[in-house]
Amino acid sequence: MKAVWKGISLAAFAVALAMPASAQVKVGVTLSTTGPAAALGVPIANVIELLPREINGVKLDVIVLDDGGDAGRATTNARRLITDDKVDVIIGSSTTPPASAVGNVAFETQTLHLSTAPTAIPEERMKYTFVLPQDVAIMADVIFKHMVKNNVKTLGMIGFSDSWGDLWVAQYKKIGEPLGIKLVAEERYGRADTSVTGQTLKIAAAKPDVVLVAASGTAAALPNIALRERGYNGAIYQTHGAVSNVLMKIGGKSIEGTILSSGPAAVADLLPAGAATKAEGEAYIKMYEAKHGPDSRTQFGGHGYDAFAVLKRIIPAALKTGAKPGTPEFKAALLKAITSEKDIVATQGVYNFTEKDHYGLDERGRVLLVVKDGKFALLP
């Protein structure tokens, strides 16, 4: 008998005894796996496909839907997953507008929502939404402070004409402007646009010291290309929404020297020994690239990995209450667990969610990168 139970923790054994033999947790996922935001959604879907369908002996039934980056479709998907499929928790979406739409449905249905994109949900409707990517505020902070250290006085901004662009303009006003950085040009473009010629002509004419691009996915490369074609030689900054090797493939030499704020997931192998996220990040990279090839990792895939890292902690905690999956009581137990479980180590940082902080990350969840010889390098 001793040999049979060797290596099984008492905590895991207690959970196993407490739960019914047929216990199954349903996880609903909606991602942008087609459309202009597919470069963000596909890596997350790829990771979720690779992850185990069991946590501490509890089976996971994972249902994945595509929302095409459209907030309306994301809303429909969320309602179907929660109302028809009766999921216990919902993950997604992979860009801000559809993720915010999912969050609103989660609030209405009292369902825990792990967002794989920053959201633009009013604070009073954030009760059930917890965001896995870094808060724009901590990523903007490191960018604007880097500008100040490099004597930047004037800034041009070009970003998406949606809530992602809005978030970055808001952070400029909150952080960049008080630091003495003057915004001399602000332009917007759509996620599906194929040209930003007019916008970059206006920015280049304003002659800012640097330009900040608030975009994501493949479309993030457009401003770099257009600005360099028009002879702009100042530094260009990008946000964590652009951290993907796709950026270099599309932008080529125009991306060289670009500075980006980033989560640590995509560069875990470059982190110093002892970094809090290094082990989880390297495990993610090894798993992903074994399936999809060298240099295929993205920081977006890290969000999918981290969603399950959170579930690994909160599902056992919720089951210990005696609540059964598929019930309102279990949903409530999951909500309580996510704010009580501490130091959830993942690829993008160490999560400590609270009732007031639904991002849960600190400075361990950010790094500065520079594109050097067509690859990301850590910026000291």
Per-residue pLDDT reduced to its tens digit, 91-100: 999 999 999 9
- Which pLDDT score is estimated for 22? 57
Does residue 12 register a pLDDT over 70?
no
Same domain, 28 and 40: yes
Query: How many structural domains is the chain composed of?
Result: 2
pLDDT tens digits, one per residue of 13-39: 444 444 444 579 999 999 999 998 898
- Which pLDDT score is estimated for 7? 37
- Which pLDDT score is estimated for 189? 97
More confident residue, 151 or 266: 151
Same domain, 251 and 318: no
Same domain, 71 and 82: yes
Same domain, 172 and 118: no
Same domain, 256 and 320: no
Mean pLDDT across the stretch 224-236?
97
Point out the least confidently predicted range of 240-244, 282-286, 360-364: 240-244
Tell me which of 230, 262, 294 is where a domain ends: 262
113 pairs with which residues across the strands? 90, 129
Same domain, 302 and 248: no
Residue type, 143: I
Give the residue from 125, 93, 10, 90 showing the smallest Cα distance to 56.
Answer: 10
Q: Give the start-end residues of each E strand in 109-255.
A: 112-115, 129-131, 154-160, 182-189, 210-214, 235-238
What domain range is 253 assigned to?
Answer: 136-262
pLDDT tens digits, one per residue of 174-213: 999 999 999 999 999 999 999 999 999 999 999 999 999 9
pLDDT tens digits, one per residue of 306-346: 999 999 999 999 999 999 999 999 999 999 999 999 999 99
Does residue 269 register a pLDDT over 70?
yes
- Which pLDDT score is estimated for 8? 37
Q: What predicted TM-score, i.e. pTM, was given to this entire model?
A: 0.84
More confident residue, 129 or 36: 129
Same domain, 111 and 93: yes
**Strand, coil or helix: what is 89?**
strand
Residues contacting 80, CB < 8 A, separation 6+: 65
Does residue 11 register a pLDDT over 50?
no
377 belongs to a structural domain:
no
108 belongs to a structural domain:
yes
Same domain, 48 and 141: no
Confidence of residue 287 (pLDDT cuts 50, 70, 90): very high
Confidence of residue 217 (pLDDT cuts 50, 70, 90): confident
Same domain, 118 and 33: yes
CATH of the domain at 22: 3.40.50.2300
- Which pLDDT score is estimated for 163? 87
Across the chain, mean pLDDT equals 93
Tell me which of 262, 292, 327 is where a domain ends: 262
111 belongs to a structural domain:
yes
Same domain, 178 and 253: yes
Percent of the chain with pLDDT over 70: 94
Please give the Cα distance from 281 to 284 (Å, whole number): 5
Give the residue from 323, 357, 326 showing the smallest Cα distance to 339.
Answer: 357
